[in-house]
Amino acid sequence: MQDLKDKVVIITGGAKGIGKACVYEFIKYNAKVVFTYNSSSKDAENIIEELKTQNCFSLKCDVRDYKSCRNVIEEAINRFGRVDILVNNAGILRDKPLFLMLPEDWDEVISTNLYGTFNMTRAIITTFLKQKNGCIINISSVSGLVGLAGQTNYSASKGGIIAFSKALAKEVAGYNIRVNVICPGFIQTDMLNTLKDDLKKKLIDSIPLKRFGKPKDVANLCVFLASDISEYITGEVIKVDGGLAI
């Protein structure tokens, strides 16, 4: 993997799960990392304490709020002088059958997952346009490709991210800004750990590789897409799902 020395990356939702794995992988490849959290302040503190590097700091951010996202960009530039890479990872689940879904269940998921991606991307895009360089990696989901029962809100938000990313990739390619999407399948995170064992077994049986993915599986792809090795890749939607959506 190519070294990312002097590259500055912002990772939303970086205190847990896939986001946390991304923080560690980008640090491993010598990038400077700013990661956000909303409610997981203790987890964020633990990461900073464990890494013990001046090249990583965390910021509280509610991605549903555009001003909060702008603050993250400004703080990152104040600390490191520039931003090169944005990983839009922050997301939530509120799974229910549609007939039981409340309007707030819909609003919270769309606001966090889809509006959050818009807010952070809108906050950084002017900087990237001025630089005539930038890389945006949006974390969607297999649910956004095929739809999963009980996830009409989540699938809609993640499908929206895919359409948003493809349109933006065409819009900014002339400025040397790349936009790609990663669609994880079932990854071993806190979200998955809440499921009962019998349901986990059914899910594993549905995956051709017969196992859940690890957060690092997604983080490795993020680092690849952020590196110059992938400088001719944009507008792509890449699954990390063990073959689930074949």
Active site residues: 154
Query: What does residue 95 show for φ and ψ, rounded to 5 degrees?
Result: -70, 130
The CA distance from 74 to 61, in Å, is 12
Q: Which residues pair with 1 in a beta bridge?
A: none
Each residue of 127-146: b (16+ CB within 10 Å) or e?
A: bbeeeeebbbbbbbbbbbbe
Pick from 6, 127, 111: which is nearest to 70 by CA? Answer: 127
88 and 10 Cβ atoms separated by less than 8 Å? no
